[in-house]
Amino acid sequence: MAATEFQQTVGKIAGFTGTALHTGEKVTLRLHPAPVDHGIKFKRKDLQDEPTIDAKIENLKTVERATTIGEGSVRVHTVEHVLAALSAMGVDNAIVEMDANEPPIGDGSAQPYVDLIKKAGVTAQEEPRKFIDVREPMHVEAKTGALLVLLPDDKFRISCTQAGPNNQFTQFLSLELTPSIFECEIAPARTFVYYEDVEPLMDKNLIKGGSLENAIVVRGEAVLSKEPLRFSDEFVRHKILDIIGDLALVGRRIRGHVVAVKPGHAANADLARAVAREQTRRSALSVTRAVPRGDSGFDTDEVMQILPHRFPFLMVDRIIGFEGETKCIGIKTVTINEPFFQGHFPGHPVMPGVMQVEAMAQVASILLFKLAKTTSRIGYFMSADGVKFRKPVLPGDTIFIHAELTKSRGERLAKAKCHCVVNDAVVSEGELMFTFVDK
């Protein structure tokens, strides 16, 4: 089991002054420490009352060649490089104070922000980090040809393929994101633009601060820049940088593997929205339930008086209720200490489906034993039909196991329809048959 990771903020106030890419204005940016669960907020020091904007996907306003967030009439443009550096370097809580509406572009990379974070230092706080663990694949597609897929993983990984017009400068890179890897392999990668896009951007009153000192211009097969490419695949590295910054708008750290083809800010934002929606759904479903006890069910001791199973094969913690003579609900709390996690996908623990079927069988057995009013027999599992596994069951989940007796022949043969539920979603189901013999 991984050690608990704690939230972090910057150790002290630090800042620098530079030119904004799109507005061309001089701007001073300062990082300030912030308390736990504060997240990243941008403060407009130049405006009355110094309003702040949460760096959250719900505040995203535009993705025209950059990521703009806002609340009300207040905007902050081109936040992706700052957010990428803060997220990748492990800063969870900070105030980004600026005296203009756009951060300094620096050299077109995230390196100035990495340097600023190192200057300020990073300090651990007394509250665990908040993660969202990807449980099943999700994907977004755009008419531009962009495709992003997010897969389950115990780390945060990005595999990206970048291709320009007519697939020129096609590049691929795959890596696990850590602060050291970001600092060395991603942060120095500079923004780039295709020559044919420059004039339309200028017509839209953008890139006023753009120059070959802070951007790479691609014209045909030529690469125009004040200095040589820092990496042979600098373009795909900068695309990864943008993905990191845009996904930081989720507001939680992601454990998952991003597979991206021809990504852009719009597609990145769509994926961030999908992840945020999933987190909202989980939060709504994880409200603590009141579990009925007493005469309406069986506690653990009563379950063990009925079933012959014992650790590590007892799959029912208690029965929380009966409905008439043919239905009941059992409960099983899944912890990381379950013995099967040692060998079932180490590093990515998932409860084996066969153990879920066994849990269903045990709850169904209790139902039949109660109906027969005897525990002098042993139930044997005969068959399982229509078994389906719909969602993974992970450590920390609580399984509600539903069993309904659908057919019985005397007190010797029975069939039950069963399903397991986690957070109001069916994770597995099947129709089970048993026979009961005398001990």
Q: How far apart are CA 241 and CA 232, in angstroms?
A: 16
**Closest CA relative to residue 207, chosen from 77, 91, 114:** 77
Q: How far apart are CA 424 and CA 388, in angstroms?
A: 17
Identity of residue 25: E
DSSP type of residue 184: I
Q: Is 38 a catalytic residue?
A: no
Catalytic residue among 22, 77, 81, 265: 265
Q: Is 348 a catalytic residue?
A: no
* Angle separating helix axes 111-120 and 80-88, nearest 10 degrees: 50
β-strand partners of 404: 327, 417
Helices (H) and strands (E) in the chain, counts: 8, 25
> Do 52 and 40 contact (CB within 8 A), yes or no?
no
Strands 52-54 vs 156-162: parallel, antiparallel or unpaired: unpaired
Q: How far apart are CA 377 and CA 369, in angstroms?
A: 8
Taking the CA atoms of 79, 82, 84 and 86 in sequence, report the sign of the dihedral they define: negative
Catalytic residue among 344, 348, 402, 419: 344
Contacts of 434 (CB under 8 A, 6+ apart): 361, 364, 365, 368, 379, 380, 381, 382, 413, 414, 415, 416
- Separation in Å, CA 105 to CA 18, 66, 93, 243, 271: 7, 12, 22, 17, 25
Positions marked active-site: 265, 344
